[in-house]
Every structure is written in structure tokens, then in C-alpha cells.
Amino acid sequence: MKFKSVFDIIGPVMIGPSSSHTAGAARIGRVARDLFGRQPAWAKIHLYGSFAETYKGHSTDVAIVGGLLDYDTFDERIKTAFEEAEKLGLSFEFIPETGHVDHPNTARIVIGDDKSEMSMMGISIGGGKIEITELNGFPLRLSGNHPAILVVHDDRSGCIANVANCLYKYDINIGHMEVSRKERGDMALMVIEVDQTVGQEVMGELRELPNITQVTRIAD
């Protein structure tokens, strides 16, 4: 994603802007929105480390809510994200945490509606770049810099091969792939970063594969 300076994102009246606390925070919120697949009705945003200490002065709070509204990092509407969220019926709460985390700019976003909820942890690593480190209890590493597919599946033999063969069929190259599971034979998660945007036809075929529970796509 391309973005302007952080002054363009939050405006000159804000105090101490930084790409880590604004552009990165907005990207974390937007990836959460992408993974959830729709506009959430509510959000509980747990902030750790430097995020927890400076989120108001650096407008981390406004940036994350803007991301949840699907605003890109250069979108002028980020400056009024709180007001826009209220108009759209998105309620939100910020919860500063004191627990230890591996990275100082860490946020856990829990979002949901009357159908489901989702928990995601992300870190802002500087220069507007982020990593997603956890999704619904699954550890992962997702940069958000490339198109990606997340596949929730039963931990059964052949699932990984079936997904890889489907992508091969459509000449989609895998740049990075990780697989994690909670327990042997239980639910598992594939995180696949690819070189091309994955179309709806491919997504539909992936969802029809045996032992596949959910397939989610993230655009770059």
C-alpha cells in the first residue's frame, strides 16, 4: 500500500505523529477488517507497550478505527474516523494493557457482530509496515505487503497438497507459506502469501476442497 506522510494522515494539529503509530496502526485495523470480511458492529482494541502509552497523542486510536472502516493509510477520512464510525453504527473501546509483549507497538483487536467474532494481534514495525502475529489463537506471521490467503481446515493429510495444487492449476505462485494447528487432528490454519491477486473463481474452488472450513483473502 502507498501512503503519504503521517501529517497528511492525521493533520497538523496532532502531537508527535509517527509512521509506526499512525500508518502502521491504520494498516493493522484494515487487515482486521479484511480478515473479518465485513464491517464489524463493535470493536475492543487492546493496546500494549508504546501503543498503550501514547495512543491518544499519536492518534493510534483514530488510525485503527479508520482501518476498521476500510480506510487506506492516505485516506483523509481517517481524521474523522470516530465520527464516521458512530454514523455507521460501529462502537469501539480502547483498553490500555500493562502485560509484557515482544514488540512495543502491539495491538490486539477483537471485533464482531451478531453473527461471529474474531481476535487478531498485530504489530507495527516502522515505516508503515506491520506483521500480524496471531489470529483466533493461531500463531502466524503475515506482513500484509502481498496478497494472501488464509485457509482454516481440519488437520488431515492431503489438505496442504490440495490447496497447493489448486493454486498451481491457476498459475499462482506461493511466496511464503506457514501452517499451524492447535492440536493434532484438530483445527489448523494455512497462511499463504502469493505473487498475484487471487480471483473469486480460485476462492470458490478452494472452498470446495475436502476438509476446508473457511477461506479468506487479503489484497495487497
CATH of the domain at 169: 3.30.70.260
Predicted pLDDT at 158: 95
From 104, 135, 166, the end of a domain falls on 135
Predicted pLDDT at 19: 61
Q: Is the same domain home to 198 and 109?
A: no
Predicted pLDDT at 18: 59
Helix (H, G, I), strand (E, B) or coil at 21: coil
Predicted pLDDT at 13: 34
Report whether 89 contacts 46 (CB < 8 A): no
Q: Is residue 140 part of a domain?
A: no
Q: Is the same domain home to 34 and 106?
A: yes
**Full domain range(s) for residue 203:** 148-218
From 79, 102, 135, the end of a domain falls on 135
The total number of structural domains in the chain stands at: 2
Give the full edge-to-edge strand order of the sheet including 117-126: 91-96, 42-48, 105-112, 117-126, 129-135, 138-142
Q: Is residue 49 part of a domain?
A: yes
From 94, 112, 135, the end of a domain falls on 135
Report whether 48 contacts 97 (CB < 8 A): yes
Q: Is the same domain home to 112 and 186?
A: no
The secondary structure element, H or E, covering residue 10 is helix 6-10
Predicted pLDDT at 93: 98
Predicted pLDDT at 118: 95
Q: Is the same domain home to 125 and 161?
A: no
- Give the CA count within 13 Å in the CB-facing half-sphere of 106: 15
Reading the chain (220 residues) residue by residue, the pLDDT tens digits are: 443 444 333 333 332 355 666 889 999 999 999 889 899 999 999 999 999 998 888 889 999 999 999 998 888 899 999 999 999 999 999 999 998 888 889 999 999 999 999 999 999 988 778 999 999 988 888 877 788 999 999 999 999 999 999 999 999 999 999 998 888 888 899 999 999 989 999 999 999 999 999 898 887 6
Q: Which amino acid is at 126?
A: G
Predicted pLDDT at 96: 96
Predicted pLDDT at 126: 82
Predicted pLDDT at 9: 36
Q: Is residue 115 part of a domain?
A: yes
